[in-house]
Chain A
């Protein structure tokens, strides 16, 4: 069997988080009764005209800048003409051309193996979403135009594709989504379809330079389905070629249950969309000053953050990644650093106990992290964590106590220092007191002492535990350790 090299181009549609639609003032939201967020403009009634949404344009420009794209200082909207029942006007307002889209010829970095890999971006352009076809309970079909006219940003990777594995496909989508979340331009909900990914997949034998025939995959609504879908298509195509067949150019759907792709339609000929500049919209002009202003205001992006955490705070790659994979976590962490917390310790407390408790209770980390689902916001603030971390590093409380305190702090929202004061839970570092507990523990457990003397040194942990128990967890653990050892010698 020949070796095959897959090539994956990614086409991502992201619904923008604007208040209103692309060309009218209807609100943008998810769900709701059909046809309740519509007006003559987004229904495409005869005589209506589009008025572009400035904030959508700005979001697409910011995304373009974040993806290292060139900016089209002069850019026009085109009409893409085709018939489909969910398309109210018989054309979609979109952007065509190599250098006309708001952003073009950029790149994004994704983790790959032990390092990073660049994925080139061909274009970032704006268009309007279509309506949704629905099957009516009474039979027949209806169209819900709530989604029609929602601002849609299309991000397409460069050609020839840089992505060649299912993992890279998933990682690209993951990093892209993270950037969009950092920019606050899309909610990134693959399961709601507010971010939609359509990979183009082809394979070629490794001794062949030109790319194979590609298929396009639709209905991928999770990272897992993207990964599995690409993997499935690659295997399917290889099997077709190995069987002496040829891959047909077609659009295939992904079935999440059977984890297989199925034929939706063949694309024997390229459809002619008869693009032309939309005469209802005047060309956009951007000044360099405006664009540079947007660039200056871009937030620090996930990979830059990750590198900074790694290099400046000396966090491990995995820990740093855990923090930056959620913008709100990163913000929380940095707030903690600003308050004087030790980066390593703040990070540890966040990704261990705090993460566990949030997960158990379904709470979220900050007010800003709230979304449509009604989660409570945790009472723990960065100041709480820093307070706790400081108590531990000053030796005021033991690590064991700190864990209990964290649980209480999480429940009550009281600061660790005030909880410690209330309970008198400060750490005991009085060596006479500790020594007394140590001797007691040794006296009560002669068999364990015997084991130790016969070489089973690991039983020391049990003895230390007994001392901690006697002190109700308040004894200075390293001191206990030392004294137990000394007494046993």
Chain B
């Protein structure tokens, strides 16, 4: 429509801004919206369209998780300590999307510093699930997921350290994708667990998701962990076929913890895809059972170091106290939320002399072993299929007193971060009217084929792109 000049980029942007202004109160997706800035970006996109220099996403609005640095636009990580922090530089992904004429609508809510699975750990407000606003959209990229599900934005960016894109995508009934570690630059993403963090897209269907993945991927000399052939090319997205594909089902991900409703949708999905010619084989990767434990050593360890820069010297209103360490302790004590403090403590402990070998080093060994097991599976199968979340959207507050239960929700998504391989979640059906996501996992650098398979799976699943009933 944009290219056919039926609407202008400004009209599209304005329509979304209006919708955000009127509807976001219900969902709490956005932390910062700068309308004049958005409209200026839309006008720039229009110029590209008018000059015939438009790419596939030029003029399309997008919401950005608020842990991705945006030059001149507040980037809070949903933390009091960064409440007034305005980055003087753009994350590489921001440079990429603006050079391709996407229009930034604003910054979306998250669990503070991306630590959480419910979006309730935001220092500012919880986000709500558009399918049922009494429920959580999942986390940590809850604002970005809910914004796409609620049609406040057609696209959004999130970050995924242990499932923070795929899990909320599952709870909100949309597509969420974590690319191979190193295919999307982390430069400008406020670090949580550096060896696990990866930026990725949310969209309402696989095709949009793939186009956005193409737009934000590529080698970046500013990120030493960026891969050489990082660009995700999605030209062959629609040319795949389900017939003859071999999918593995790791039994550890279908045991115990699954809600019955989720289990049922998984069974239906397997049945549907079997009819389409996919061959399923059950496999066993016992290390999956250690995933959450391992993750909750490595990610907090890295986080404890990554968040050390927030010491009251440069960010946040400093708390005066005795001596430098006193200032650090007082400032951090007041401005970090409970979950962030808990993880910093866990991480500090895990790295401490005398505990390093028993915790951090051992966790790294388990991580390597788990990654090797999955690598082995990918040699025998085209993909590994799992639930994206063991539960459907839960009530806000329902699990906030049960941090352990919340952490266990990540067990399906954590392996992809441990091994650096890509994973995508798309809607497979509904349980009591709430979305249930299915996750496909593929080998490192297998992103193109993963997206192609996801596209085919989406075609085969009748509920894949259903929208919630909303005004």
Q: Point out residues on A near B: beta carbons under 8 Å.
A: 40, 43-52, 79, 81, 83-85, 88-91, 143, 272, 274-276, 279-282
Contact status B309-A44, CB under 8 Å: yes
CA distance A50 to B225 in the complex (A): 10
6 A-B residue pairings within 8 Å (CB atoms): A46-B69, A47-B75, A88-B314, A143-B313, A275-B351, A279-B194
Contact status A48-B187, CB under 8 Å: yes
CA distance A88 to B89 in the complex (A): 17
- Min CB distance, B348 to chain A, in Å? 7
In B179-238, which residues have CB < 8 Å from any A CB?
Answer: 186-191, 193-195, 221-225
Task: Answer yes or no: B356 CB below 8 A from chain A CBs.
Answer: yes
Closest residue of chain B to A52 (Cβ to Cβ) is B224
- Min CB distance, A432 to chain B, in Å? 83
Contact status B223-A81, CB under 8 Å: no
Query: Contacts A47-B69, A81-B351, A90-B308: A280 and B225 contacting too (C-beta < 8 A)?
Result: yes
- Pick the interface stretch among B42-50, B80-88, B449-457: B80-88
Query: Contacts A46-B69, A90-B308: A274 and B348 contacting too (C-beta < 8 A)?
Result: yes
Task: Answer yes or no: B275 CB below 8 A from chain A CBs.
Answer: no
Closest residue of chain A to B197 (Cβ to Cβ) is A279
Partner of B352, one of A83, A85, A272: A272
Contact status B191-A46, CB under 8 Å: yes
Partner of A91, one of B186, B308, B325: B308
Q: Point out residues on B near A: beta carbons under 8 Å.
A: 67-69, 75, 77, 82, 85, 87-89, 91, 186-191, 193-195, 221-225, 301-302, 304-305, 307-311, 313-314, 324-325, 328, 348, 351-353, 356, 360
- Min CB distance, B10 to chain A, in Å? 30
Partner of B191, one of A47, A83, A84, A276: A47
Could you say which of B69, B311, B313 has the most chain A C-beta atoms within 10 Å of its C-beta? B313
Partner of B88, one of A45, A50, A51, A83: A45
- Min CB distance, A127 to chain B, in Å? 15
B195 / chain A contacts, CB cutoff of 8 Å: 279
CA distance A274 to B194 in the complex (A): 16
Contact status A47-B91, CB under 8 Å: yes
Contact status B305-A47, CB under 8 Å: no
CA distance A279 to B89 in the complex (A): 22
CA distance A282 to B193 in the complex (A): 15
Closest residue of chain A to B89 (Cβ to Cβ) is A40
Could you say which of B82, B188, B309, B325 has the most chain A C-beta atoms within 10 Å of its C-beta? B309
B223 / chain A contacts, CB cutoff of 8 Å: 49, 51
Contact status B87-A47, CB under 8 Å: yes
> Is chain A's interface secondary structure helix, strand, loop, or mixed overall?
loop
Query: Contacts A51-B222, A90-B308, A276-B305: A85 and B351 contacting too (C-beta < 8 A)?
Result: no
Contact status B305-A79, CB under 8 Å: yes
Closest residue of chain A to B68 (Cβ to Cβ) is A47
Partner of A81, one of B75, B89, B308, B310: B308
Contact status A81-B305, CB under 8 Å: yes
B85 / chain A contacts, CB cutoff of 8 Å: 46
CA distance A417 to B67 in the complex (A): 76
Contact status A276-B360, CB under 8 Å: yes
- Min CB distance, B71 to chain A, in Å? 10
Partner of A272, one of B187, B313, B314, B353: B353
- Min CB distance, A29 to chain B, in Å? 22
Contact status B305-A46, CB under 8 Å: no
- Min CB distance, A133 to chain B, in Å? 10
Contact status A84-B89, CB under 8 Å: no
Contact status B302-A279, CB under 8 Å: yes
Contact status B311-A49, CB under 8 Å: no
B87 / chain A contacts, CB cutoff of 8 Å: 40, 45-47
B222 / chain A contacts, CB cutoff of 8 Å: 49, 51
A272 / chain B contacts, CB cutoff of 8 Å: 352-353
B308 / chain A contacts, CB cutoff of 8 Å: 81, 83, 89-91
Could you say which of A48, A79, A85 has the most chain B C-beta atoms within 10 Å of its C-beta? A48
A81 / chain B contacts, CB cutoff of 8 Å: 304-305, 308, 351
B67 / chain A contacts, CB cutoff of 8 Å: 47
A281 / chain B contacts, CB cutoff of 8 Å: 224-225
Contact status A49-B351, CB under 8 Å: no
B91 / chain A contacts, CB cutoff of 8 Å: 47
Contact status B189-A51, CB under 8 Å: no
CA distance A85 to B222 in the complex (A): 26
CA distance A44 to B314 in the complex (A): 10
CA distance A276 to B225 in the complex (A): 17
- Min CB distance, A84 to chain B, in Å? 7
Among all A-B residue pairs, the 10 with the closest Cβ atoms:
A90-B308, A279-B195, A274-B351, A279-B194, A46-B190, A47-B188, A47-B69, A90-B309, A89-B309, A47-B190
CA distance A410 to B314 in the complex (A): 57
A51 / chain B contacts, CB cutoff of 8 Å: 221-224
A91 / chain B contacts, CB cutoff of 8 Å: 305, 308
CA distance A49 to B223 in the complex (A): 6
A282 / chain B contacts, CB cutoff of 8 Å: 224-225
CA distance A194 to B353 in the complex (A): 32
B224 / chain A contacts, CB cutoff of 8 Å: 49-52, 280-282
CA distance A85 to B353 in the complex (A): 24
- Min CB distance, A43 to chain B, in Å? 8
- Min CB distance, B365 to chain A, in Å? 14
Contact status B190-A83, CB under 8 Å: no
B352 / chain A contacts, CB cutoff of 8 Å: 272, 274
Could you say which of B68, B221, B328 has the most chain A C-beta atoms within 10 Å of its C-beta? B328
CA distance A79 to B325 in the complex (A): 19
Closest residue of chain A to B347 (Cβ to Cβ) is A274
Contact status A274-B191, CB under 8 Å: no
CA distance A84 to B311 in the complex (A): 9
CA distance A143 to B309 in the complex (A): 14
Contact status B82-A83, CB under 8 Å: no
CA distance A50 to B223 in the complex (A): 7
Q: A51-B222, A282-B225 are in contact. List 11 more A-B contacts (CB 8 A).
A: A40-B88, A47-B68, A48-B187, A51-B221, A83-B328, A85-B311, A91-B308, A274-B352, A276-B301, A276-B302, A281-B225
Query: Contacts A52-B224, A91-B308, A276-B351: A47 and B187 contacting too (C-beta < 8 A)?
Result: yes
B88 / chain A contacts, CB cutoff of 8 Å: 40, 45
Contact status A46-B77, CB under 8 Å: yes
Query: Contacts A83-B325, A143-B313: A45 and B89 contacting too (C-beta < 8 A)?
Result: yes
Closest residue of chain B to A24 (Cβ to Cβ) is B222
CA distance A282 to B195 in the complex (A): 10
- Min CB distance, B123 to chain A, in Å? 15
CA distance A52 to B194 in the complex (A): 17
B356 / chain A contacts, CB cutoff of 8 Å: 274, 276
B305 / chain A contacts, CB cutoff of 8 Å: 79, 81, 90-91, 274, 276
CA distance A229 to B190 in the complex (A): 45
CA distance A48 to B189 in the complex (A): 8
- Min CB distance, B97 to chain A, in Å? 16
CA distance A282 to B353 in the complex (A): 24
A47 / chain B contacts, CB cutoff of 8 Å: 67-69, 75, 87, 91, 186-191
A143 / chain B contacts, CB cutoff of 8 Å: 313
- Min CB distance, A271 to chain B, in Å? 10
A43 / chain B contacts, CB cutoff of 8 Å: 314
Contact status B313-A49, CB under 8 Å: no
Contact status B324-A83, CB under 8 Å: yes
- Min CB distance, A428 to chain B, in Å? 74
CA distance A81 to B302 in the complex (A): 11
CA distance A462 to B268 in the complex (A): 121
CA distance A90 to B309 in the complex (A): 5
B75 / chain A contacts, CB cutoff of 8 Å: 46-47
A45 / chain B contacts, CB cutoff of 8 Å: 69, 87-89
CA distance A88 to B221 in the complex (A): 22
B304 / chain A contacts, CB cutoff of 8 Å: 81, 274
Closest residue of chain B to A80 (Cβ to Cβ) is B305
CA distance A83 to B311 in the complex (A): 8
Could you say which of A47, A85, A280 has the most chain B C-beta atoms within 10 Å of its C-beta? A47
Contact status B301-A84, CB under 8 Å: no
CA distance A45 to B310 in the complex (A): 10
Contact status A49-B309, CB under 8 Å: no
